[in-house]
Amino acid sequence: MDYSNPAAKRSEVPVVCPSDDALVYILSRVPAKSRFRFKCVSKPWRDLLTDRLRCRKFPQTLEGFFLGGSSGDKDNFGNFIDISGRPSPLVDASFSFLTELPEIQKINLLGSCNGLVLFGHRRDSDNYDSLGYVVCNPATQQWVAVPSCGWTPPPLSYLYACYQYTCTYLIFDPAASPHFQLVQFTQDEEGVVLQFRENNDDDEAVTEVRTYSSESGVWSNQTSEWGAHGCIMSSFGSAFVNGMLHFMVGGEYGKEDQIVVVDREGNKCRNIRWAKERGEILFVGQSQGRLHCISGLANGIGETPEVSVWVLEDYDGEEWVWKHSVSFAHLSGNLNGEDVLNFYFVSIHPECNMVFFVRSDSQKLISYHMDTKEMCVLCSVRRDYEHVTQYVPYFSVSSALANRH
């Protein structure tokens, strides 16, 4: 071998290829946008990065929040607040394709799940979702329109926006399927969705549920048996944990609050009991793969109420473990004890011990780190922004989203 030839030297250098597990470990520490670009390196890398089982090992990076108003106007339905500190935002949140569709006149931000964002839309003349929904991926600028389920609102004597009559949740788990589902619950004019039958022979709760699957492209109606009574508190958050949707149902007629667990088909799988001794539920969310609940409790007369964070450590045994407590006065900024209930929670960080809330008086979006007990003002929130939803980007192109801007 002629080692004076540089090409010969290079050809003799051994190439060490890391195992797939080692490569996944390395890539899990790379920013999400860079991982998306690495799919172009080679076909094996592309297959590795799109493998649904290995995707679970990649961290969920919270990039920011989408804010939306209740009016449905096109100029305030999807503004994005970037919390990453980058000089240029990772996401183009203009959603200009929605404003360019002539048949869409009113748009409402409803929620998000694992990188997809859900909007409801209708015409100016309608008070319900006459045109249905739009599901989109801001990272890839893909989107798809979902037709109306055919539901019509109550009589004209109860004219409110459609989203006061329905609670619609988006379910998307890219590690399990490329398809998404919508689960819609119908409320009456009082906001009650889970009703007991009015006879002495059967007191099981019944509600009508509609579900949509992007795989089938159709809505299905069903009547599910529920062991709960009350109103779905959609503003108190929701969580997608263990392949199931979790949300709070406020107790009525002296009954305790509960967390209801629903599968992708809208079937009620279980009710997770919430003891009153832990306080009233203020928010439900997911963090580090576990169900979390934020509650508020005053320990006694004249004492400052506290906010506590609980984690469901034993999912099957329903064992809630206390994680953190902080006074309402500290979070509200009113240490004199006056008007300490001037804020509401909007999110729990998916990967660290941090919560986010908005102060009602100053309209500031603020983060609170449970480990350091530090607060940070992130931005101001317009008073007409009633919907705040967290955004974790998903960079893979989806076959379920047929259109691309």
Same domain, 38 and 138: no
Which tens digit of pLDDT belongs to each residue from 38-74? 667 777 766 666 654 555 555 557 888 988 765 555 5
Q: What is the DSSP letter of 340?
A: -
Same domain, 346 and 256: yes
CA separation for the pair 352, 370 (Å, rounded): 9
More confident residue, 58 or 251: 251
Which residue in this structure is represented by tokens 């493998």? Answer: 51
Question: Could you tell me the residue range of the domain that residue 25 belongs to?
Answer: 20-52
Instruction: Flag whether 398 is in a domain.
Output: no
Same domain, 141 and 173: yes
Same domain, 183 and 219: yes
Instruction: Flag whether 405 is in a domain.
Output: no
What would the mean pLDDT of 200-227 be, rounded to a whole number?
69
Same domain, 320 and 367: yes
CB–CB of 328/340 below 8 Å? yes
Specify the 3-state DSSP secondary structure of 375. strand
More confident residue, 337 or 65: 65
Same domain, 235 and 287: yes
Rounded to the nearest 10 degrees, how much is the dihedral formed by the CA atoms of 183, 393, 235, 240?
50
Could you tell me which of 298, 205, 262, 240 has the C-alpha nearest to residue 115? 240
Same domain, 259 and 120: yes
Instruction: Please state the pTM of the whole predicted model.
Output: 0.78
Q: Is the pLDDT of residue 183 over 70?
A: yes
Instruction: Flag whether 319 is in a domain.
Output: yes
Same domain, 148 and 120: yes
* CATH code (residue 381): 2.120.10.80
* Burial status of residue 90 (CB atoms within 10 A of its CB: 0-12, 13-18, 19 or more): buried
In angstroms, what CA-CA distances link 102 with 68, 124, 401? 20, 12, 20
Q: Is the pLDDT of residue 195 over 60?
A: no
User: What pLDDT is attached to residue 86?
Assistant: 58
Per the structure, the count of domains in the chain is 2
Instruction: Flag whether 396 is in a domain.
Output: no
Same domain, 203 and 340: yes
Assign residue 193 a region (left: φ > 0; alpha: ψ between -120 and 50; beta: otherwise): alpha
Instruction: Flag whether 97 is in a domain.
Output: yes
Same domain, 294 and 359: yes
Instruction: Flag whether 115 is in a domain.
Output: yes
- Residues 6 or more apart in contact with residue 304 via CB below 8 angstroms: 298, 327, 328, 329, 337, 340
Same domain, 290 and 370: yes
Instruction: Flag whether 12 is in a domain.
Output: no
Same domain, 44 and 135: no
Instruction: Flag whether 201 is in a domain.
Output: yes
What would the mean pLDDT of 96-119 be, rounded to a whole number?
77
Helix (H) or strand (E) holding 96: helix 96-99
